[in-house]
Copies of this chain bind each other. A is one copy, B any other.
Amino acid sequence: MSSFSHPPDYLIQGVLAGNRRVLARTITLFESRNPDHLRLAAQVLQGLAPHGGNALRLGITGVPGVGKSTLIEGLGLHLVERGHRVAVLAVDPSSRVSQGSIMGDKTRMEELSRRTDAFVRPSPSGGTLGGVAARTREAMVACEAAGFDVILVETVGVGQSETAVKGMVDFFLLLMLTGAGDELQGIKRGIMELADVVAITKADGENRELAERARKAYENALALFRFDREVPVLTTSALNGEGLAPLLDSLFRLYEADKATGALFNRRKAQQVDWFWELVEEGLLDRFRYAPKVASLMDETLAGVEKGEVFPGHAARKLLDRFTDEGG
């Protein structure tokens, strides 16, 4: 990757100037696991970080078939029309497997991709959820530094990735289909409770009435489940564009309100600290797991714990002592 022989300043300045090609290269650098690139990436990131933070960060999720990318493209085009600059990123740890991953299909969001005020980036391929999420966070900082003021982070409706995305966005939009049948089975426990706004998709044609009924049902259900804030439920159609403007309005209302009270700023500060601790935890577990003196006992230990022969507390203490060389 010869482009990375540029000094960090070339990338930093290019991103700050809003150059989409340099932005794309910079994100590719962030995604590289090549040890030579890590130091450069760190320098570039450190240079960009002070220029990040000026965007509405929105997580968007929903099961496959809910019409996620069509809706995101619709929202993106609307936003561009309103004078915003929109970046679309994705967190999809399954994208290394070939099963219909998000934005894997190159024909998706074609129209939005062509706009100069939009930037569409598929999920980094490969890696653990933690790795993919970390690289998406870094990409988000780069996009913000490049002047994009709305970041849409797309994710698959499988639970774990939503929790990861919740830690990097300001708000979460949950897309739902009409009908309470099999289509809904894919939504995992807990996702409903992450949502700040719910949108029923494909509310057009014959589906319109059903969508309105679903909207009311979710509104009632959410009133019973969610006491931390009122969760707007809207119907939308990417086909005819209905509902997209009210959806954006309600998102910007939340954004402006939380900016005014300072809640947004405080949440982001807490997200940074949480992220630090997540990385510490992940790093500690990695180093623990792969320490030879621990690894050599792991299979045996886990088997004993599973069978109930060894109490988890004793097993944990024993391995921890080996790891830190205390007692034993």
Q: Which residues of A contact B (CB under 8 A)?
A: 42, 45-46, 49-50, 52-53, 134, 138, 180, 184-185, 187, 189-190, 192-193, 217-218, 220-221, 223-228, 269, 272-273, 275-276, 279-281, 283-285, 287-288, 301-302, 305-306, 308-309, 311-317, 319-320, 323-324
Contact = CB atoms under 8 A, between A and B. Distances in A.
A184 B320 CA distance: 42
B49 A185 contact: no
24 contacts: A52-B308, A134-B313, A180-B223, A185-B227, A189-B228, A190-B193, A192-B225, A218-B224, A221-B221, A272-B308, A272-B312, A273-B302, A273-B305, A273-B306, A275-B312, A276-B312, A280-B316, A281-B284, A281-B285, A283-B317, A283-B320, A284-B285, A284-B320, A287-B324
A323 B283 CA distance: 11
Give the number of times this chain occurs in the complex, counting copies: 2
Given A269-B306, A280-B288, A315-B276, A221 B225 contact: yes
A196 B302 CA distance: 28
Contact of A311 (B49, B187, B306): B49
Contact of A308 (B50, B134, B220, B319): B50
B316 A276 contact: yes
| Chain B CB within 10 Å, residue with most, of A50, A283, A314 | A283
Interface of A is mostly: helix
Nearest to A291: B324
Nearest to A228: B189
A224 B221 contact: yes
A283 B193 contact: no
A218 to B, nearest CB: 6
Nearest to A276: B312
Nearest to A53: B308
Contact of A46 (B226, B228, B314, B319): B314
A302 B316 contact: no
A277 to B, nearest CB: 8
A58 to B, nearest CB: 19
Given A276-B305, A283-B316, A308-B49, A220 B217 contact: yes
B227 A217 contact: no
B279 A312 contact: yes
Closest 7 A/B residue pairs (Cβ): A279-B316, A221-B221, A276-B312, A284-B284, A275-B312, A283-B320, A221-B224
Given A221-B224, A227-B187, A284 B288 contact: yes
Nearest to A187: B227
Given A218-B224, A275-B312, 11 more contacts: A49-B309, A50-B309, A187-B227, A190-B190, A220-B221, A221-B224, A269-B306, A276-B302, A276-B316, A281-B281, A283-B320
